[in-house]
Structure 1
Amino acid sequence: MNRTATARNPLVPTLVFAALATAIVSSLGMLLVPSISQRFDVDVATAQWMLTVNLLAGAVATPIMGRLSDGPHKKRLLLASLATMFVGSVMAAAAPTFGVFLAGRVLQGLSYGIVPVTIAIARRYVPPEHAQNTISTLSVTVASGIGIGYPLTGIIAGIFDYSFAFWFGAVFVLATIFVVWKVVPSGPDGRAEQHPFDFAGSCLLAVGLGSLLLTISEGPKWGWVSGTTLALAAFSIIVLALWVRVEIRLDHPLINLRTLKQGEVLLANISAIALGAALYIAMSVSSLVAQADTATGYGLSLPVFWAGFVIFPLSVGSLAANRTVRVLAKRVGMQVMLPIGAIIMAAAGTMLWLLHAELWEILLSMLVFGIGMGASYAAMPALIARSVATQELGSSVSFNQVLRTVGSSFGTAISAAIIATHPGLNGEASPESINMTFLLGALLCIGLGVALLADSARRQEKWKR
């Protein structure tokens, strides 16, 4: 199929639209915590459960949806996931109580698992010569879409109230359902193999991951050496170890752990954890700096209406990088784009650490961060796609998505721990804690970039021999 014919094919834009819906729904969180706290008359720590339950639901749903996407009913799975997101958005928008609101956020957590489904559909129906670019675009769309979703959330919540932001998400998802229903090929995928679903592995991974992420997210509040934290951490390790034992023995596991040993898949998964943590540190702390009072010594005192725009350059940079990556990858190889992206993100993290007193400094840093993120996030699924069989793609990419979520959770927990142990005036974060958190994000990217460059050099030397 030639380029013109591909451009006229509405499937790729439809899949991008579905991935963008994921980003929009995912962005309905961080900026709205103060509004939710006031609306339901709960303290900020309790209101932050809107982030925790959403993250937990996403971590549990993503690997299950990834494995199901390797089966024959891809369109049905995508529509069911979008419909669940729609119901969750309506529940969150119209919730009379905080409990109902949290239930809606749990249903919205399925948004994290939609990208692996769209990637599996692209691998099946997009012509092979365009599949890799499409897969890279879908991966980057989520990250760049968050850069669009944050300012949209800020504008809507600033002009109206938090509920309108969730109504907007519901309308966007409803439009996505209609487009997917009209465009994505119907009927079962005749090429897909059907195997018994791994219920035991799904349950063990859900319990193990849920316990681990709950430990990470609540550790700063409970205390890292408290009995509850240590017991839950030990429980999660035991359950995950049991899950690994079960998966290795199955012919058709939820996630084929044997594929994780492959060099490029392993690099992509390690990168997902480190870069996920660094990205969340940059986004969360930049948003905090933007909204903090100038009396803190670092805050910019921006209202929620404008605070979301701090993340917008991230979207611009990632979209620009996605187009550039396609050209560079043909010359230097996709595996080189991963360390390049990590090094660019390291430069951006260093800029944030050294320069965050003015708004333009943060905006410039986020732009550079977006460029590095676009390169890295485009490379990860592309490396996985060319390293695993088609019937393993959905589960392999979904596991990479889960590791990004785990990395984001680590970033959140570490940021909260640093800020909690170095408080400023009136309970605000101190300038020292802001600097330390930005520095940590930069060091994560620097360490990963150096390790990836060393591995790339080793591979080239081995190839020359």
Structure 2
Amino acid sequence: MSTTTPPSTAGARRETVIVFALSLAAMVVSMMQTLPVPILGLIRADLGVSTAEVSWVTTATLLSAAVFTPLLGRFGDQHGKKPTLVAVLGVMVVGSVVAALATSLPLLILGRVLQGAATAIFPLALSVLREEVRPQKLPGAMSLVSGTLAFGSGLALVATGLLTSGPDADYRNAFWMATGFAALALLGVLFLVPATRHKTGGRTDFLGALALGVTLLLLLLPISQGHEWGWTSGRTLGSFAGAAVMTAVWVLIELKVREPLVDMRMFVHRPVLMANLAGILVGFGMFANFLGVSYLVQMPEALTGYGFDASILRASVQFLLPGAIVSLLASPVGGQLVRHRGPRTALVLAAALGTVGFGWLALDHGHTASVIGAGVIVGAAVSFGYAAMPAVIMASVPHHQSGIANGINSISRSTGSAIGSAVVTTILASKTVEHLPAGVPPLPAESGFTLTFWIGATAFALVAVIARFGLRAAQAPRGAAAPAPAAEQTAEPAAA
């Protein structure tokens, strides 16, 4: 009797291994974005820098991701996705080591810049899935990899809280943890992900990449630093004006060069454009939830009249971890929803859950069960949203544009996260508790959190508008042919 594994079984196992390796890599990428949030105070005290200076620890990663993600996504499409993945993960390992060993702020920022370049892993991972996973299994695979983004962001907050909970806490432990995860992801991709079959070749549009990078720098820099610079300051307004000018320059370049970094027909193709707008709003909601809840539960009730007097550890484990776990568990559900009902339905459900979750937080954030329950609902909303967006994009662009299209969508989510961080910080700084005892630093008033949560609900309500009016209805797919080029499509295609 033969013991040979049937081809279908062997193929399924191979797909599972690939999805596992790429999910781990995507999770590590998302961890890098939120990792330093709970330890900025420790970093500031240890390195002897100001609040404005230490904020560059998070800003540097965001800006690095904005510059390198589209370039590396396109490079992977042209020259091979696996080699690009391995190289980027190697850079992330080096960056994590540099951050862990840094004894000065410039060195720490250098490490964070190298970590930020690894954001390109996510669009590259989706492109690999498109090549290696059967069409009927692709939505579930993409949803699982996408779901690890929200899970990884929450996991980083929890793990950092655990590692820095003692009286002699050292923030460097968090970066050593990041090094270990990055090395594990590198080994997983190196040994478990097959070599790329589709390569487009051609020239790299370095001029377009430079123009896009400058545009994103000028846009994201004032968003992330506006609360320090002042929203009406010359630097802030000048940066926004420069971003507008550079956007026009970038579009002109892309229309003129023979092999553009971004095909502008693809960029403005309705499903792709709507997915990017949804990415901004969902990214905004995710960060508004993380930061809003984290700050809320740490407020000292005796001084402010609200809050839970939670430590960083309690805030991470009790209040944020449940939502992160649910976001991971919801990702395969989102994949099935995309497969059987289409990405539009998944996005509508994400919008409904997010609006309900943030509305619940706005109306009742004085009870532990409410804060945790609402956070769980928002976590599921983010997971469904992340499942829908790659499905829309993958069904709307040809193979050779997968990397850059998902890279732009990654940037849209990062932009939304940056806007969410800036909005939450600005609101909480502008609404403070009156009549605090002498020597107590300003603390945000409860109304600031209420406003933050209502804005989060509004963001998800806008996602519903995008899904309803921006995306056309699609039949529930049971399987689909390979998508046609963006320019040839006139309706939202069914997800595979």
Residue 430 (structure 1) aligns with: 445
2:451 is the alignment partner of 1:444: no
1:168 pairs, out of 163, 177, 201, with: 177
Counterpart residue identity of residue 273, structure 1: I
Unpaired segments of 5 or more residues in structure 2?
A: 1-6, 476-489, 492-496
Q: Any idea what SS the aligned residue of 1:255 has?
A: coil
Residue 225 (structure 1) aligns with: 232
2:22 is the alignment partner of 1:15: yes
Deviation at 1:65, TM superposition (A): 1.5
- Describe the shift of the 1:227–1:24 C-alpha distance in structure 2 as closer, same or farther (beyond 3 A): closer
Residue 273 (structure 2) aligns with: 266
Deviation at 1:137, TM superposition (A): 1.7
Report matched runs for 1:227-266 at 5 Å.
227-266=234-273
Residues 265 and 387 in structure 1, CA contact (< 8 A), matched pair in contact too: yes
Residues 36 and 58 in structure 2, CA contact (< 8 A), matched pair in contact too: yes
- Describe the shift of the 1:6–1:410 C-alpha distance in structure 2 as closer, same or farther (beyond 3 A): same
Residue 313 (structure 2) aligns with: 305
Deviation at 1:313, TM superposition (A): 2.0
- Describe the shift of the 1:198–1:456 C-alpha distance in structure 2 as closer, same or farther (beyond 3 A): closer
- Describe the shift of the 1:8–1:457 C-alpha distance in structure 2 as closer, same or farther (beyond 3 A): closer
Residues 155 and 306 in structure 1, CA contact (< 8 A), matched pair in contact too: no
- Describe the shift of the 1:50–1:69 C-alpha distance in structure 2 as closer, same or farther (beyond 3 A): same
Structure 2 CA distance for aligned equivalents of residues 11 and 458 of structure 1? 31
1:154 pairs, out of 161, 168, 175, with: 161
Deviation at 1:338, TM superposition (A): 0.9
Residue 4 (structure 2) aligns with: none
Unpaired segments of 5 or more residues in structure 1?
A: none
2:376 pairs, out of 338, 354, 367, with: 367
Identity of aligned residues (%): 30
Structure 2 CA distance for aligned equivalents of residues 180 and 110 of structure 1? 17
Structure 2 CA distance for aligned equivalents of residues 407 and 419 of structure 1? 18
2:338 is the alignment partner of 1:323: no
Residue 181 (structure 1) aligns with: 190
Residues 72 and 190 in structure 1, CA contact (< 8 A), matched pair in contact too: no
Structure 2 CA distance for aligned equivalents of residues 216 and 334 of structure 1? 30
Structure 2 CA distance for aligned equivalents of residues 317 and 167 of structure 1? 26
Structure 1 CA distance for aligned equivalents of residues 361 and 155 of structure 2? 20
Residue 386 (structure 1) aligns with: 395
- Describe the shift of the 1:244–1:152 C-alpha distance in structure 2 as closer, same or farther (beyond 3 A): same
Q: Any idea what SS the aligned residue of 1:427 has?
A: coil
Q: Any idea what SS the aligned residue of 1:213 has?
A: helix
Deviation at 1:184, TM superposition (A): 1.9
- Describe the shift of the 1:175–1:190 C-alpha distance in structure 2 as closer, same or farther (beyond 3 A): closer
Counterpart residue identity of residue 431, structure 1: E
Residues 70 and 392 in structure 1, CA contact (< 8 A), matched pair in contact too: yes
Counterpart residue identity of residue 33, structure 1: L
Q: Deviations over 1:75-99 (max 9, x none)?
A: 2111111111111111111111121
Residue 352 (structure 1) aligns with: 361
Moved more, 124-133 or 338-347: 124-133
Structure 2 CA distance for aligned equivalents of residues 377 and 3 of structure 1? 29
Q: Deviations over 1:169-202 (max 9, x none)?
A: 101111221222112224xx45311111011111
Moved more, 210-219 or 174-183: 174-183
2:90 pairs, out of 61, 65, 83, with: 83
Q: Any idea what SS the aligned residue of 1:365 has?
A: helix
Report matched runs for 1:47-86 at 5 Å.
47-86=54-93
1:6 pairs, out of 1, 12, 29, with: 12
Deviation at 1:291, TM superposition (A): 2.0
Structure 2 CA distance for aligned equivalents of residues 236 and 328 of structure 1? 38
Residues 69 and 116 in structure 1, CA contact (< 8 A), matched pair in contact too: no
Residue 487 (structure 2) aligns with: none
2:409 pairs, out of 400, 406, 421, with: 400
Moved more, 389-398 or 127-136: 127-136
Deviation at 1:4, TM superposition (A): 6.4
Counterpart residue identity of residue 207, structure 2: A
Residues 255 and 399 in structure 1, CA contact (< 8 A), matched pair in contact too: no
CA RMSD for the aligned pairs?
2.0
Structure 2 CA distance for aligned equivalents of residues 84 and 192 of structure 1? 22
Counterpart residue identity of residue 304, structure 2: T
- Describe the shift of the 1:63–1:421 C-alpha distance in structure 2 as closer, same or farther (beyond 3 A): same
- Describe the shift of the 1:164–1:245 C-alpha distance in structure 2 as closer, same or farther (beyond 3 A): same
Q: Deviations over 1:299-320 (max 9, x none)?
A: 2221122222222122222223
Residue 109 (structure 1) aligns with: 116
Structure 2 CA distance for aligned equivalents of residues 111 and 357 of structure 1? 39
- Describe the shift of the 1:328–1:180 C-alpha distance in structure 2 as closer, same or farther (beyond 3 A): closer
Structure 2 CA distance for aligned equivalents of residues 422 and 69 of structure 1? 46
Residue 101 (structure 2) aligns with: 94
Residues 144 and 318 in structure 1, CA contact (< 8 A), matched pair in contact too: yes
Q: Deviations over 1:424-459 (max 9, x none)?
A: 343111111111111111111113313423456888
Counterpart residue identity of residue 240, structure 1: T
Q: Any idea what SS the aligned residue of 1:214 has?
A: helix
Q: TM-score if structure 1 supplies the norm length? A: 0.94
Structure 2 CA distance for aligned equivalents of residues 55 and 340 of structure 1? 29
For these two proteins, the number of residue pairs brought into alignment is 460
- Describe the shift of the 1:331–1:182 C-alpha distance in structure 2 as closer, same or farther (beyond 3 A): closer
Residue 43 (structure 1) aligns with: 50
